[in-house]
Structure 1
Amino acid sequence: MILWRISVHPELDGTGGLLAPGRWHTQGSRVVYCAPNPATSLVEVLVHIEIESDDLPDPLQYREIEAPDDVSTENVDLDALGRNWQTDLEATRRAGDEWLRSGRTALFRVPSVIVPETWNVLINPRHREGAQVRILRVHRHGIDPRLLR
């Protein structure tokens, strides 16, 4: 499976999750968020940006990540989250934190809140199979300023 991530962090060690909470975890948890393609990766970043295009890093660093097909993966149980999971941060964070604590799988497949027909993958860097997930290449691209209008 090929995954994508836009990040200035050169490693997949989950440091960002220690510093800030996300949709699927509370602050203090090592976790790495990825998307199935560069476009979804960009949309997932842009939704959180409240800065001018001149303040963005240029170029952005798109990390192409490989997770072998046999790495353990779990799909989130949307039924357990409830009907309004998109707006219920407590429910999504609880599900992600429980997955991280359990150590059941290296990857956790979750829907994108922005585009629910696509998905994101969380990597648990502390899982024994987490070391099999690796960065293949770093692609550097500028951002089209029309996306920030």
Structure 2
Amino acid sequence: MRVWRLTRVGFTALDGSGPMRHGARYSSPGRPVVNFASEAGLAVLVALRYLPEDPGERPSDFVLGWTEIEALPEHVPDGNEPAIRVWVDEWLDSRRSLLAALPSRVLPEADIIMMNPLHPDAAKVAPLRMRPFDFDQCLHRPPMLDTYRIAE
């Protein structure tokens, strides 16, 4: 399965060190986890939520990366965020599977894919293949936009 990640240049390692230190939306601090998206567009949308509104304050060192993982994810049971976090923490601690997936809250048609970097198969996951990603270019408003009005 191909998984996507939009991150900054210094954070491309698939070791889960950021969530280990700070926690993540679905995992507690003290547990490494690597978060991916099932679609490139979802990776962009998720990162977009965390960008400063002022374009001058946006970092310019983003990269969009992908890798192939030869595993199918376990599906996280439905629940509220605290219940999901308990499940994910137990899943990470157990190391019973490499991947777990849950529908994105940003785009429910796509999944957030979590990888347990402490699972034995994590060592087989290839590093990200990356390309630079420029939010200014992505969010550039086309000139013809002024000639169209979205129907209300």
TM over 0.5: yes
Q: Which residue of 86, 111, 120 maps to 1:128?
A: 120
Per the TM alignment, residue 73 of structure 1 is displaced from its structure 2 partner at its CA by: 2.5
Query: Residue 75 of structure 1 corresponds to which residue in structure 2?
Result: 75
Query: Residue 145 of structure 2 corresponds to which residue in structure 1?
Result: none
Higher relative contact order (CA 8 A, sep 6+): 1
CA 1:5/1:28 → structure 2, altered by over 3 Å: closer, same or farther? same
1:5 maps onto 2:5 in alignment: yes
Q: Which runs of 4+ in 1 moved over 6 A?
A: none
Equivalent residue of 1:28, what SS? coil
Note if contact 2:98-2:115 (Cα within 8 Å) is conserved in structure 1: yes
Per the TM alignment, residue 118 of structure 1 is displaced from its structure 2 partner at its CA by: 1.4
Aligned counterparts of 1:72 and 1:102: Cα–Cα separation in 2: 17
1:117 maps onto 2:119 in alignment: no
Aligned counterparts of 2:117 and 2:82: Cα–Cα separation in 1: 23
Query: Residue 84 of structure 2 corresponds to which residue in structure 1?
Result: 92
Note if contact 1:111-1:118 (Cα within 8 Å) is conserved in structure 2: yes
Larger radius of gyration: 2
Amino acid at match of 1:91: A
Per the TM alignment, residue 37 of structure 1 is displaced from its structure 2 partner at its CA by: 1.9
Aligned counterparts of 2:93 and 2:24: Cα–Cα separation in 1: 16
Amino acid at match of 2:31: S
Aligned counterparts of 2:118 and 2:72: Cα–Cα separation in 1: 13
Amino acid at match of 2:7: S
Aligned counterparts of 2:58 and 2:72: Cα–Cα separation in 1: 35
TM-score, scaled to structure 1: 0.82
Equivalent residue of 1:135, what SS? coil
TM-score, scaled to structure 2: 0.81
Unaligned runs of 5+ in 2: 142-152
Per the TM alignment, residue 136 of structure 1 is displaced from its structure 2 partner at its CA by: 4.3
Amino acid at match of 1:5: R
Per the TM alignment, residue 31 of structure 1 is displaced from its structure 2 partner at its CA by: 0.3
Amino acid at match of 1:27: P
Q: Which moved more, 1:53-62 or 1:125-134?
A: 53-62
Per the TM alignment, residue 48 of structure 1 is displaced from its structure 2 partner at its CA by: 2.7
Aligned counterparts of 1:50 and 1:141: Cα–Cα separation in 2: 16
Task: Show CA shifts across 1:12-33 (max 9, x none).
Answer: 0001111222221011210000
Per the TM alignment, residue 51 of structure 1 is displaced from its structure 2 partner at its CA by: 4.5
